[in-house]
Amino acid sequence: MASKPLHRASTYERYLCTDELLSLQKAEPDLAHHDELQFQVVHQVFELWWKENAFELRTIRQLLPQGKLHYALRLMRRVIQTQHLMLENLRMLENMSPWDFHGFRKVLEDGAGTDSPGFHALMHLSPLLWDDFKAVLNREDVTLIQVYTEAQQYPLLRDFAEALLDYDEIFQLFRVQHFKLAQRMIGPGSIGTGGTSMRILKRTLSDAFYPELWQVRDQLTALAQQQE
């Protein structure tokens, strides 16, 4: 009797390492709750996109000193678009009820989103972009106020400044949405799986990577009022 031929992985499967990738989640018989698989997939998607974003941010940091602002801006917009995708990815967990979450929360033990290596990478890299951008402004001998008030003369600088603000804003929105999801799952007076209270977590929601880009709005408003 002829033996059944073994499955030969396609080029697609080999290139994307699909066997390894799809084995990184719990096997169905081992799930503590039906919704645990979705929870794992959503968070693994976070880590993949954050890996991509960290790669792009490191590249942007190399491009800015080289004066390659066009390329840096394109990659910055890619990072922003990725963060929008992640907001939608996070919303997938909203179709899980609080009681469903408690059905497998115990297996997380003390695991918390704040332990994410991808999140930590972005928290380290993101603020450094401001120093890189300030170095560009110094090299061009232009102030941030001028970048906005004389935008026709500095269109690329203005566009990159706005891209940084877009990134800062969408990252803040992600943190707010994650906080609201946590409230939705465990309640506003509870302690997270990592031991952090919701009250302490809430304090981080107003953190910004680029406060100067928010403060310059005040300066522009004051300047406009002076000219009235």
Arithmetic mean of pLDDT, 151-163? 98
- Its sign, for the CA torsion 127, 133, 137, 143, is negative
Percent of the residues in the chain that have a pLDDT greater than 70, as a whole number: 95
Average pLDDT over residues 122-146: 97
pLDDT in tens, 6-61: 678 899 999 999 999 999 999 999 999 999 999 999 999 999 999 999 999 999 99
- % the chain with pLDDT above 90: 79
Instruction: For residue range 181-203, list pLDDT tens digits in order.
Output: 989 998 988 877 666 677 777 87
Cβ neighbours of residue 34 closer than 8 Å, sequence gap 6 or more: 100, 103
CB 210 within 8 A of CB 168: yes
Q: Please give the class, per CATH, of domain 34-226.
A: mainly alpha
Alpha-carbon span 154 to 136, nearest angstrom: 12
Tokens at residue 211, please? Answer: 């406060």
Amino acid at 211: P
Rg (CA), the chain: 22
Average pLDDT, the chain: 92
Provide the residue ranges of all domains of the chain, joining segments of one domain with +. 34-226
| pLDDT at res. 201 | 75
Q: Residue 78 — very low, low, confident or very high, per pLDDT cuts 50/70/90?
A: very high
